[in-house]
Structure 1
């Protein structure tokens, strides 16, 4: 059997990424699709008011919003990011996210 690099998702089937995770009140739900030393790909659902506190990471992190709106802080700058938009949080720069309204995102981190 061939090694699979992507997990937790059906192969050879057209899927809607936002359907892979569901909103849960007061929670952040995630589904990891790839996790290895150089790459991480995860789909998240953030309930309104939830977030990730300011932190930094050793890789560039690209967020693509699938649904809703998020306030994303990079360094000292705040960005309102909406469904269909993407933003990159550079490696080693403090960043955080907050759900202005419930939102779903695809997070790709490259180290």
Structure 2
């Protein structure tokens, strides 16, 4: 049997990304679609006022805003992203997110290759 690299979503049929994760009051809801040594793909739904505290990622990260609006702070610089927009965050640079209104996003992290020592 072949290892499935994608999970938590059915194969070979169309899906609406917005319907794959639901809002919950005063919570951040996530649904991981892939998490391999090379890539991570996760859907998130944030209620208003929620966010992710400052952290860094082991690879370049792309946030695609599917619904709503959020502020993204990258290395101390804050930008606002709205529905249909993307923001790229470089590997190992501290970043955070804050929901101005309820918002949904898809996070794709392209991870660095592990060096062979």
Q: TM-score, normalised by structure 2?
A: 0.91
Q: Secondary structure at the match of 1:15?
A: coil
SS for the counterpart of 1:108 is strand
Could you tell me how far 1:59 is from its partner in structure 2? 0.8
1:38 CA drift (Å)? 1.7
Alignment of 1:5-84 (within 5 A): 5-84=5-84
User: Alpha-carbon deviation of 1:2?
Assistant: 2.8
**Rg (Cα) greater in structure:** 2
Aligned position for 1:3 = 3
Q: TM-score, normalised by structure 1?
A: 0.96
Whole-angstrom CA distance in 2 between matches of 1:17 and 1:71: 21
* Structure 1 unaligned regions, length at least 5: none
Q: Structure 2 CA distance, aligned partners of 1:30 and 1:48? A: 15
Distance in structure 1 (CA, Å) of the matches to 2:72 and 2:85: 12
Corresponding residue of 1:108: 108
